[in-house]
């Protein structure tokens, strides 16, 4: 994909695109900031949050390597959320207006962007499906099955701490811990260091 490699971009876009490094907890952009850039995560992980007032904040989504950031604001003037690095991370930073004009001139580049956005839409759809599963252990089991399907493997290597998984699933860490324990007791999973082994079973 051209968009995932700065050196593969058209010369005029490549010259204005740059790599930005962020440390854990640093904001890439703030809700309400002028939306001048589009981003793709090169390494690391981010969470996107939205403020409704000073005491009401929701987690919108999470982004990892290869995911886009700021795409909802590509046709608006301001970012509608804030992006925060969950670990030390790097992003590819594209000037938004220059990117849009380059898409009109380069069909392959436009195809790359469509593929990235479709992948994100699929991920958001999965997240909505999971949130509709009321019982915590059932939601967790379905989440693990999605991960296993994506990796084509029943051994799931965890690339982040459990507290981040809890946030993504809408749990407290304590709720996630209880759900994991129940799945273990029912023989649906085994846990090893930084790994979960998923067994064939029906949801109960």
- Walking along the chain (204 residues) 10 residues at a time, the average pLDDT comes out as 86 95 97 95 95 80 91 89 96 95 93 91 89 94 87 81 91 96 95 88 47
Range 133-198: architecture per CATH: Orthogonal Bundle (1.10)
How is residue 69 annotated by DSSP?
Answer: E
How is residue 29 annotated by DSSP?
Answer: E
pLDDT at 132: 93
pLDDT at 176: 96
pLDDT at 149: 79
For the domain made up of 2-112, give the CATH fold: Jelly Rolls (2.60.120)
Sort 28 into a burial class: Cβ within 10 Å, 0-12 / 13-18 / 19+. buried
pLDDT at 4: 86
pLDDT at 187: 94
Half-sphere exposure of 105 (CA within 13 A, CB side): 10
In our burial notation (b when 16+ CB lie closer than 10 A, e otherwise), range 36-48 reads ebbbbbbebbbbb
Half-sphere exposure of 171 (CA within 13 A, CB side): 25
Separation of alpha carbons 32 and 54, rounded Å: 14
Residues in contact with 72: Cβ distance below 8 Å, sequence separation at least 6, in sequence order: 80, 81
| Domain extents in the chain | 2-112, 133-198
């Amino acid at each position: 994909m051209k968009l995932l490699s700065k050196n593969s971009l058209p010369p005029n876009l490549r010259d204005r695109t740059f790599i930005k490094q962020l440390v854990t907890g640093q904001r890439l952009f703030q809700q309400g900031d002028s939306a001048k850039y589009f981003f793709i995560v090169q390494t690391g992980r981010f969470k996107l949050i939205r403020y409704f007032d000073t005491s009401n904040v929701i987690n919108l989504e999470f982004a990892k390597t290869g995911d886009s950031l700021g795409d909802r604001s590509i046709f608006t003037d301001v970012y509608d959320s804030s992006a925060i690095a969950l670990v030390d991370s790097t992003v590819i930073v594209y000037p938004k207006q220059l990117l849009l004009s380059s898409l009109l001139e380069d069909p392959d580049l436009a195809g790359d962007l469509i593929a990235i956005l479709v992948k994100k839409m699929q991920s958001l759809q999965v997240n909505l499906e999971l949130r509709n599963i009321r019982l915590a252990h059932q939601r967790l089991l379905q989440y693990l099955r999605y991960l296993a399907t994506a990796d084509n493997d029943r051994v799931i290597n965890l690339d982040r701490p459990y507290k981040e998984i809890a946030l993504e699933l809408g749990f407290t860490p304590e709720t996630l811990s209880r759900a994991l324990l129940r799945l273990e007791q029912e023989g649906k999973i085994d846990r090893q260091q930084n790994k979960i082994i998923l067994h064939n079973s029906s949801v109960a």
